[in-house]
Amino acid sequence: MSESPKALKLFSPSRIAITIAIGLAVATWLVVRNFDIKHFQDIDWTWTSTLMVFVAILMMVVRDLAYMYRIRVLTDYQINWRNSFDTIMLWEFASAISPSIVGGSGVAIYIVNKEGVKIGRSTAVVMTSALLDELFYILTVPMIILMVGYQELFPVQLQKEIFGITLGTQGIFLGGYFFIVALTSIISYAIFFRPRGFKWVLLQIFRLPYLRKWRHAAGDTGDDIMVTSKELRDKPFSFWFKTFGATLVSWTARYWVVNFLILAFVSLSWNDHLLVYARQLVMWVIMLISPTPGSTGIAEIAFSGFLRSFIPIGLAGTLALLWRLVSYYPYLFIGAIILPKWIKRTHAPKKKQED
């Protein structure tokens, strides 16, 4: 990776401004469209309501602490707690201003590397983080469906054309889920069993005329798989227990944010809690294919549609905005604040990094 901070171009002020503008425009539209002054006046805001909002914010803190712990374990504790905070905040910052379908993995590798972690291990850290996140999703979906049922997951009917095929909400969800299962299985097999063979197959596939222009990128992916395999080959059970445990805590806390925000306005039964959680799993796939930075706009609309039945009448847009204010916008502002100091700390001449 070059010392030229090409990855930092992602953090341009224009990208941040566009992201915030899209999000606020959609949120304002939803609030105005759904707002009902009569139902708003009927809300009985209590100390319990305030407590639930506080707990929702606390869930985001728990999520980030779990991510910080995970990256420390993944780097064999090479990154301390203070620097792991910068790493996670900038990683989330990159994801927040990148289209969800693209993600911020490339920038994440750069960020981890600039914290003094060798480029090979940085690649392994980011790739392993992604695999752990996908594994959590793969295992959680069937368990939640068994508890709440399949038909309750799709209160909103969407249509999207993917590769020339028009899919509804269920089709998008099932297609996305099984794509994640297939991709995770292939990459896991490649990493733990046949990294060199995987690279060879990849290069052969990208010899095809219509794919040849991406052959160099395919070769880089194969190299990443081989490096990751080398890094992970001899890891003990305790390593996987700690990293997956942190992943479980971080994602659970992330989803519980919505549950606690809804509890600030209405009470939920245990079954309702599970259903809110389950519908967020569907929302996540919808948001994953969003072309907008950080799923901005799509996330607010999906929230209002999928969770409307649990929200007081006329407040779907307001609660969607509150959700994003708690779980999304803080990363934009925190990232923008710490980025200059991080660049100064990690790019100083005396702090020669190993690329």
pLDDT given for residue 9 in this prediction: 63
Query: Each residue of 255-278: pLDDT tens digit?
Result: 999 999 999 888 888 889 999 999
Contact 130, 188 (CB under 8 A): no
Would 170 be classed as within a structural domain? yes
Contact 241, 69 (CB under 8 A): no
pLDDT at 352 over 60: no
The domain containing residue 35 runs over which residues? 6-346
Would 142 be classed as within a structural domain? yes
Would 203 be classed as within a structural domain? yes
- The CA distance from 235 to 28, in Å, is 49
State how many domains the chain has: 1
Would 355 be classed as within a structural domain? no
pLDDT band at 93; cut points 50, 70, 90: confident
168-to-120, 122, 156, 202, 220 alpha-carbon distances in Å? 41, 38, 9, 32, 35
Better pLDDT: 144 or 12? 144
pLDDT given for residue 161 in this prediction: 62
Q: Which neighbouring-strand residues pair with 193?
A: none
Query: Each residue of 250-261: pLDDT tens digit?
Result: 999 999 999 999
Q: Which neighbouring-strand residues pair with 167?
A: 160
CA torsion sign, 108 to 114 to 116 to 117?
positive
- Report the SS3 class of residue 76: coil
- Average pLDDT value over all residues in the chain: 82
Would 151 be classed as within a structural domain? yes
pLDDT given for residue 315 in this prediction: 76
pLDDT at 348 over 80: no
For 77, left (φ over 0), alpha (ψ -120 to 50), or beta?
left
Would 1 be classed as within a structural domain? no
Match 């990294």 to its residue by tokens: 195
Indicate the burial class of 217 (C-beta count within 10 angstroms; 0-12, 13-18, 19 or more): exposed
Query: Each residue of 41-66: pLDDT tens digit?
Result: 666 778 888 999 999 999 999 999 99
- The CA distance from 141 to 76, in Å, is 30
Would 353 be classed as within a structural domain? no
pLDDT band at 297; cut points 50, 70, 90: low
Name the token pair of 241.
């227990």
Candidate from 98-107, 149-158, 220-229 with smallest mean pLDDT:
98-107
- The CA distance from 71 to 60, in Å, is 17
Would 354 be classed as within a structural domain? no
**Crossing angle of the two packed helices 298-306 and 13-34, in degrees rounded to 10:** 30
pLDDT given for residue 6 in this prediction: 56
CA 78 from centre of chain:
24
